[in-house]
Every structure is written in C-alpha cells, then in structure tokens.
Structure 1
Amino acid sequence: MVEAALFDLGGVIVVGPWEGFATYERENGLPEGLIRRINSTDSDTNAWARMERGEIGLEEFAAAFEGEALALGYRVDGMAVLNGLSGELRPEVAEAVRRCSERLKTGLLTNNYSPMASSERSAELAEVMGWFDVVVESSVLGVRKPDPAFYTMACEALDVAPSACVFLDDLGVNLKPARAMGMTTIKVVDPDEALAELEAVVGFSLRG
C-alpha cells in the first residue's frame, strides 16, 4: 500500500541539467558528455558533490570544478556551467504531483547547491513546491543522494516506512539505494511512460 510519493526535481518535475550541459559543450567546442564525465569521477568527493552538500560555496566550487576539468585536459567556466542549470517546468508532471498531494503524502528529494527558500522561482514552480508536505534538500542537510541517510531522513520527515513509498528520479544511481531500502522506484526517461508507471503503482489517474 503506497502512502507517499517522492519526486526528484531536476530531470523529473523540471527539465534536467543535461540539456544545459550539452549546450555549453557545443558552444565551447567541448566533447559531448564531458561535464557528466567530470561529475561522475570521484562522485562522492568531487566539487559537485561537495557543493551539493553545502561544504563549499559557488566560487570555491567553480575553481575546483575548473581544476577537475583541467586535469582531463579541458578548460571550462564553472560559473557558466551552473548558469545553464535552470530547466523548464514539465506541466504534466506538476499535475501528477498535485493529484498525488490530494491522496498521498508527498516529498521533494533534491540535490541542490542553494536552499529552495533562498532561490528565485517562477510562480509556476512556487505553486508546485506548495503541494509537497516536505522538501528534502542536500544543501540544507549536508547529505545528498544516493547516500541512504538522505532517504531515511525523507521517510522520517513524512513518518512513513520506505516500503510505503514510490520514488521517481532520472538517475539510476539515485534509485538503487532507495530500492534496496524497500521503496518502489521509477526511473524517469520519458515523462509519459514514467507517469503511466506511477498511475499503476498508486492506483488513480494522474493525467487528463
């Protein structure tokens, strides 16, 4: 019996950062996938991970990230990479969040570098944020996905067991520990397919 629906932000509710990364790479003559490669190297201790845990600020991140790129033989602008992160809202997923909030407990689980409360948000995204019972942020907690402690904190905040949760994320590495804890997981590649899977899990319509 599902009691709670948990959603990632980037790549699920809003378009993921990958398009911004790809645009930066194309515009600067860099190999496709370079930024993702940098972020996947030493993924728990690299500049991106430390930034998302709130251990370093943006300027320190930029310098460290640029150093990691240089170690691979490429020059990048760390702040420019960050500036391309904001993605457009996916209305169909936002509607699914709204409908889930009417029947289930809901949580937003996001790795971010700045607390949502201090970020400038569109009116649309601000409305979506209001539908969540809890917002679990790496920059606030000092813990990030895929650390199992992150999911434990989310479950404790919602007062639910992992086995009573369904969790949507666009990265398999983030879903694996959640699944090991007992959560039902859905990898978001195509939003329509993911919402169809979620409807099957929760047992009610999320679209139309």
Structure 2
Amino acid sequence: MAFAAVIFDFGGVITSSPFEAFNRLEAERGLPQNFVRRINATNPDSNAWALFERAEIDAARFDALFAEEARAHGHHLEGSAVLAVLAGAVRPAMIRALDQLAAAGYRLGCITNNVPTGHGAGMARSSDRADEMEQIFARFEHVIESSKAGVRKPDPRIYTMMCAHLGLAPAQCVYLDDLGINCKPAAALGMHAIKVTSGEQALTDLSAVLGLALG
C-alpha cells in the first residue's frame, strides 16, 4: 500500500469541533461570534491556551490569564467557562473507520492538543466520559498529547515525534486535522494532509486517498 499509517487529530476529527461549543457559549454570553478563537489566535505561541496545552500552567492560572486576555479584547469571559464546554461529541462513523483501517492493516496514531485537566487520555471531564475516551484511544498504536509531551501543534517536532515512534517516513503517513494551520507543517514534512470540515467529508477524502470505503 502507498501509505502505512493514518494519523488523526482528536477534537474536531474524532469528535465534533469544539468551535461549535465555543459559538454556543458566545451566544449564551452575548459575545461576538468566534470571540474565543480570536483570543486564541492572538499571540498563539504564548497565550493562556498555548501555555495550558503545554502544561506550563494549571487550570486556575489558565482561568485567570484567559480572563485577562478576554478583557483585553473588550469582554468578560473566564477560562473555566471555556474549559467546561470543551469536549465535543464522538462521531460514531469515525470510530467505525478506525476499526476498518486497523482491519485493513493500517497503523493508527493520534496527535492531539489538549489541556491537563480532567481524567485519563483526552482529559475527559467525567469518569464515564473518561472510560469512553480510553476505549477510543486504545485503538491507536501511539498517542501524543500536547499536555504530556510539552509540545503542541503546529510545532513540526510533534509530527516528527510520531513518525519516529512509528518508525515511518512522513511520506508513508496520512494526517487529518480540522485546522489548516496544523495541516501545513504535516504537509511540509511530506505527509498527505487532509483538512477536516466535517466527519463525512473527512471519510470521503480519506477513502479516496486510500482506495478503501470507510464509515
């Protein structure tokens, strides 16, 4: 086969996009649409979100720093409120696809930017959710979580770390992520990158690349 491994982002690919939850929170609080994304796009390597995803600060410090950043953008929003809505709903078709890929002989990896709060892989907010996440993460041969690795996407090092663990060249890997900024370094390294806009689109594109019906 032309490719040996498929590497997935988690939030926005395996689960629905957290941006949908952020938009609902913004609507509830009377904030501008995409306000959270605007904050997180400002100083993206050193803002509260970046520091938390690299586990350089704890949840309490994130709560305070994010609130400061929100105030600098003209509105009030505490970091704890953002964390409370972070987890997206699992996409069942993506889970089926993971099992289909494994059965077809593809190796599976996951690279996820997450925060050091909650329980278990994926940092779920409840024990039931943690159990569900553990069952999903168990399908991957290797998982890199930014909050444990101390490096986050789009830093190219996180992609080379995955390739090194799998013992594969980037050109042997397909990578899926819902953020173009995270797809670009993967593609620059030689991976076949797929930008995910929906679960259906992701599986259609991946099926075409691999010549394998998925979902």
Q: For residues 23-172 of structure 1, what are the structure 2 equivalents within 5 Å?
A: 23-102=24-103, 103-114=105-116, 116=121, 119=124, 120=127, 121=129, 123-172=131-180
| Residues paired across the two proteins, number | 207
Between stretches 47-56 and 195-204, larger displacement belongs to 195-204
Between stretches 110-119 and 15-24, larger displacement belongs to 110-119
User: Does the CA-based 8 Å contact 2:121-2:137 persist in structure 1?
Assistant: no
Unaligned runs of 5+ in 1: none
Q: Which residue of 1 aligns with 2:12?
A: 11
Distance verdict in 2 for CA 1:169–1:117, change over 3 Å: closer
Per-residue CA deviation, residues 111-165 of structure 1 (Å, 9 max, x unaligned), is: 0012617644354433221110001110011000000000000111111110000
Letter paired with 2:18: P
Distance 2:72 2:194 in 1: 35
TM-score (norm. length: structure 2): 0.92
User: Does the CA-based 8 Å contact 2:12-2:18 persist in structure 1?
Assistant: yes
Distance 2:101 2:122 in 1: 23
Identity fraction in percent: 45
DSSP-derived class of the 2:70 partner: helix
Q: Which residue of 1 aligns with 2:211?
A: 203
User: Does the CA-based 8 Å contact 2:121-2:134 persist in structure 1?
Assistant: no
User: Does the CA-based 8 Å contact 2:115-2:123 persist in structure 1?
Assistant: no
DSSP-derived class of the 2:162 partner: helix
Distance 1:25 1:153 in 2: 36
Distance 2:152 2:122 in 1: 18
How many angstroms does 1:4 deviate by?
Answer: 0.5
Per-residue CA deviation, residues 3-34 of structure 1 (Å, 9 max, x unaligned), is: 00001110000111111111111111111111
Distance verdict in 2 for CA 1:124–1:206, change over 3 Å: farther
Q: RMSD of the TM alignment (CA)?
A: 1.4
Distance 1:190 1:71 in 2: 32
User: Does the CA-based 8 Å contact 2:6-2:108 persist in structure 1?
Assistant: yes
